[in-house]
Structure 1
Amino acid sequence: MLFTEDFLHYIWKFKLFNFRDLQTTDGVSLEILSVGVHNFDAGPDFHNVRIRIGDTLWAGNAEIHIAAGDWYKHNHTHDEAYGNVVLHIVYRNDKPVILPNGRQVPTLELANRIPAELYTRYHQLAYGNQQIIPCEATIKTVSGIKLHNWLTRVLVERLQKKSVAVIDTLQHNRGDWEETFYQHLAANFGFKVNALPFELLAKSLPQQILAKHKNSALQIEALIMGQAGLLEVELTDSYPLKLQAEYGFLQKKYNLKPVEKHLWKFMRLRPQNFPTIRLAQFANLIFKSNHLFSKILEIEHLADFRKLFNRVDVNDYWETHYRFGVESKPASKSLGKSSVDLLLMNTIAVFLYSYGHHHKLQQYIDRSLELLESVPVEQNHIVNDFTNLGVIAKSAFESQALLELKNNYCNHKKCLQCGVGNQILNLG
């Protein structure tokens, strides 16, 4: 048979083996009162196990191996952490385990106690030739309620991980939520391709400097375009020349060092997504929304969140340009609905959750989840793959969970830690 110790952990944890006439390998009757608590840290695999061997009640730890001899291969013999092991659970008992004090560790062998159909289902998940996810042939057998419940848990895992990054930035910013939000919002304005230079720009241009020029759209855009390094070229048009002149003065005033302009990517982007346009939109949002994070904490409805971004427009110059000095056909450069949705998912919802979790304020956590339930499903190849398998997300709440499921469970074949995998393994 081909499997890992994780499979035996799963078998033990969920009691999926034959309990009839249990005995230790030396023929003494064995009764399992509690399988204990799964330990994911260093030390024995299960803590607080309770068993009865013969007439004696034992409480302690249990260790699991494919072969009993692995105890010695893993150097447990002289590790004090394993001195309280009351049961050694193995698939194959190839040798007894003797502790330094002479005590033989009681052993349970599972070789003939695991149902063949359970192993077959596991093998198909872990070692099958799937194209998208391990359970692609069977995921439709999982009930909608159980799938939704698991996706809810996975979504919270995703938000918690993103919250860690937010709090890390918050600590670097000495507890300043406005500055932290500004930096993360900037990174997400880069929409992956230009996330890094956007983030570097925000960190090089503190919000407190922008706040000093909150009444001048020209100066706000000059600071942002200048810090992006995009004004360090020869310009001829009137508007960019004004930006260049303003930035020249402000750069000296605040001793600013711009981001290296080669970091910005234009290739393989639709003109609407050029960094020049995104920077112009970001500048306008900053100009129109002072203390933006404080406003977000006060908002309760999706429509009001959208208003923040729907108000974003750009200087008239950008209506006929995508790059400085290159004229184009007139076109609106406001933020599109899909772009707004991404900002709502990746910035607003994440910060509401992070703020609520950090301050133990459940209303902001609830608002984060409600916001994701109100935002439409995003379109990407992972969501589309799940749709083709019959798993259809109803909102960003579920589509974000599917991204987490695919990237952190399916791609690593963590089926034994997945609620979907568990359900499939336990189907009759």
Structure 2
Amino acid sequence: MKEDFLYYIWQFKKFTTLDLTTTQGEKLQILNSGQRLQQSGPDFFNARILIGEQKWAGNVEIHVKSSDWYLHGHEQDRAYDNVILHVVWEYDTEVLRKDQAEIPVLELKKFVEANLLKSYTALTAAKTWINCENELKDLNSFVLENWKERLFFERLERKAIPMLELAKETNNDWEAVLFRFLAKNFGLKNNGESFFEIARSLPFTVVRKEAFEAENLEALLMGRAGFLNREYEDVYAKDLQHRYAYMAVKHTIKSVYIAPPEFFRHRPDNFPTIRLSQLAQLYHTHQNLFNKLVQSKSVEAIYDLLQTATSPYWETHYKFDKESNKKRKKLTKSFIDLLIINTVIPLRFAYAKSTGTEVGEELLQLIRNIQPEKNTIIDKFRQFKMPVDSAYDTQSLLQLKNEYCNHHKCMQCAIGIEVLKK
């Protein structure tokens, strides 16, 4: 038995409400269950009940056992002074107020039907992957689609938080915010944090000024990554070293420690040298990239904006001084998809929140026109017959798995509640 099941029972009155009594034997009538509070303090706020002939208004606290009141130290917390009812599954001890008056207790197990408990037990029984895996193929499509949309926007809300914080830090310089988060996602999982720190270590005013020469931008990025700290034979590498040394003095760029990006475990086309060169070329090609991305009305327009390749040197190199077969190394469509999913759409959402603009339908249209992501979580959902047609589906399902399934929050999930109904 978990408390979230009890929250569900109490909030939606999934118990017999006729002839309710407290453990003290007094008649109980629920006028209003109250508002669920997902923060510190009592579980439900502003409930209204009748005990005997006395009407009460206040908060409700819910536990598996009444003794949990003391286990959680609520008797010492003034936030619980106005609890009017203690709702528990099992009553094992009385609970007293500071004035030694007993708090009324409702023991739910006396009033919950056996079928509901049986359904909950079946849902939460051990499975091979997630609790509802056997029911996914038979879900009500209306319930599923509404829940996926909420999950998608929950995921956007989470991604928007650091973007909004950075916007505040940069006095709403959204071009600078875009640069840093684009850099992070150019670095993918292994080098994302390192690339983010590289971008953050460069004042965006400097990036703007030097963007007119692609080699200058590349020198700044390679220099901050620590790739220009040794002697090279290639003329191009030496040129970048001279440019970086000059710009460091010109713009008073302070030396900071940044964890060096990794080459290990990356395919050559994802080597940090290649990705940093592509990022430099992108910002050399487009001034005011944020404004252009915000104004783009279609995925195709965004593809056109983000399409870029390395500088010529990297067509025959993956590392400095090590020549390779010539290959034009441009961003693939699948890589641009990741940039749109993880940077462009969340940033447009964050910007809209900051300006009070509604862009929900616009973002849904964009994400639904992007191919679904490929990873082990999505493969598992497919295995259990969950439809996956676009990146909208994959983003929603990743939110579902990471924030609900992994934490067994079945009673906070529309799918879990739908399964219980059956």
Residue 30 of structure 2 aligns to a residue whose secondary structure is: strand
2:32 maps to 1:37: no
CA shift, 1:228, in A, is 1.9
Q: Whole-Å Cα distance in 1 between the matches of residues 102 and 176 of structure 2?
A: 61
Q: Do the aligned partners of 2:4 and 2:409 also contact (CA within 8 Å) in 1? A: no
Matching residue of 2:322? 326
Residue 41 of structure 1 aligns to a residue whose secondary structure is: coil
- Match runs of 1:209-358 below 5 Å: 209-257=206-254, 263-310=260-307, 312-358=308-354
TM-score by length of 1: 0.92
CA shift, 1:9, in A, is 1.7
Matching residue of 1:61? 59
CA shift, 1:100, in A, is 4.1
Matching residue of 1:94? 92
Q: Do the aligned partners of 1:11 and 1:17 also contact (CA within 8 Å) in 2? A: yes
Q: Whole-Å Cα distance in 2 between the matches of residues 252 and 28 of structure 1?
A: 81
Q: Whole-Å Cα distance in 1 between the matches of residues 138 and 331 of structure 2?
A: 41
Q: Whole-Å Cα distance in 1 between the matches of residues 269 and 326 of structure 2?
A: 12
TM-score by length of 2: 0.93
- Match runs of 1:88-237 below 5 Å: 88-101=86-99, 103-126=101-124, 128-237=125-234
Residue 17 of structure 1 aligns to a residue whose secondary structure is: coil
Deviations 1:344-390 (A, max 9, x none): 11110011000001110114x44333221221111111111111111
Q: Do the aligned partners of 1:201 and 1:259 also contact (CA within 8 Å) in 2? A: no
CA shift, 1:401, in A, is 1.3
Q: Whole-Å Cα distance in 2 between the matches of residues 125 and 259 of structure 1?
A: 52
Deviations 1:204-263 (A, max 9, x none): 222221222333222222222222221222222232232223223223322335676862
Deviations 1:126-174 (A, max 9, x none): 3x33232221122223212211211111111111111111011112212
Distance verdict in 2 for CA 1:74–1:203, change over 3 Å: closer
Q: Do the aligned partners of 1:201 and 1:258 also contact (CA within 8 Å) in 2? A: no
Matching residue of 2:49? 51
Q: Whole-Å Cα distance in 2 between the matches of residues 56 and 30 of structure 1?
A: 10
2:396 maps to 1:401: yes
Question: After alignment, is 47-56 or 140-149 more displaced?
Answer: 47-56
Question: Residue 188 of structure 1 aligns to which amino acid in structure 2?
Answer: N
CA shift, 1:175, in A, is 2.1
Q: Whole-Å Cα distance in 2 between the matches of residues 222 and 361 of structure 1?
A: 38
Residue 212 of structure 1 aligns to a residue whose secondary structure is: helix
2:376 maps to 1:361: no
Q: Whole-Å Cα distance in 2 between the matches of residues 293 and 353 of structure 1?
A: 13
Question: After alignment, is 159-168 or 204-213 more displaced?
Answer: 204-213
Q: Whole-Å Cα distance in 2 between the matches of residues 201 and 151 of structure 1?
A: 35
Q: What RMSD, in angstroms, separates the aligned Cα atoms of the two structures?
A: 2.1
Q: Whole-Å Cα distance in 2 between the matches of residues 325 and 258 of structure 1?
A: 25
Deviations 1:284-343 (A, max 9, x none): 001001111122222211111110122x12222222211112122222200011100000
Q: Which 4+ runs in 1 deviate beyond 6 A?
A: none
Q: Which runs of 5+ in 2 are unaligned?
A: none
2:370 maps to 1:375: yes
Q: Whole-Å Cα distance in 2 between the matches of residues 71 and 261 of structure 1?
A: 48
Q: Do the aligned partners of 2:315 and 2:327 also contact (CA within 8 Å) in 1? A: yes
Q: Do the aligned partners of 1:139 and 1:424 also contact (CA within 8 Å) in 2? A: no
Residue 374 of structure 1 aligns to a residue whose secondary structure is: coil
Q: Whole-Å Cα distance in 2 between the matches of residues 388 and 313 of structure 1?
A: 37
Paired residue total: 422
Question: Residue 329 of structure 2 aligns to which amino acid in structure 1?
Answer: K
